[in-house]
Amino acid sequence: MTTTTIERQDCETSSSNIAVFETNATWRDGLRTDVNARQFMIPVDEPPELGGADSAPNPMELLLAGLDGCLAVMIRVVAAEYGAEVTAIRLVSQGALDVRGFLGTAAVQPYFHKVHTRIEVATDLAAENFDAFTHAVHNRCPAGTLIEAAGIDFTIDWIRV
């Protein structure tokens, strides 16, 4: 394998419709890294069973957190387009992966092979619009569509409360 070092390379933006996001990270010790996104610091570590000190969420937990946050944002955005009010959102996401890929002990993929999200949403949206609403949220969530584009089995259970 050949490694190439790039000092800095900006993402190509051929349109004003493209948003570019950037993070920067500094390794601290062990498996701990501090990641900065804009003015926010996000610590990253692993639990002891994966070699870390358990001082912060691990990268895959943060990926699920990003998915939950993205879905919640899209629920609010799409509800507003329907003229509906949302009074509560609760999300629980689980991702399943074979840790042998991460540990290098077996020839298996190190990423999630399945992601399941349960969403409970309280809204005054008309019942006849709920399926179209959930479909729009699902199809417009950048994190969720990225997971699907990777070929990962991704399911969402929608519960209207």
Cα–Cα distance list, 92 to 11, 33, 89, 124 (Å): 32, 25, 10, 22
Render 51-114 in DSSP notation, one character per residue.
Answer: TS--SS--HHHHHHHHHHHHHHHHHHHHHHHTT--EEEEEEEEEEE--HHHHHTSSSS-SS-SE
The pLDDT value given to residue 1:
44
- Look over the chain and give the mean of its residue pLDDT values, rounded to a whole number: 92
Cα–Cα distance, 102 to 150 (Å, whole number): 18
Is pLDDT above 90 for 14? no
**pLDDT tens for each residue of 116-157:** 999 999 999 999 999 999 999 999 999 999 999 999 999 999
pTM for this entry: 0.89
Residue 107 banded pLDDT, cuts 50, 70, 90 = very high
Question: Which pairing describes strands 153-160 and 114-123: parallel, antiparallel, or unpaired?
Answer: parallel
Can you give the pLDDT at residue 125? 97
Query: What pLDDT does 3 receive?
Result: 45
Report the pLDDT averaged over residues 18-32: 96
Torsion from C-alpha of 3, 22, 96, 147, nearest 10 degrees: -100
pLDDT band of residue 4 (cuts 50, 70, 90) is: very low
- Confidence grade of residue 102 (pLDDT, cut at 50, 70, 90): confident
pLDDT at 103: 87
Higher per-residue pLDDT: 11 or 118: 118
Average the pLDDT over 4-32 and give the result: 79
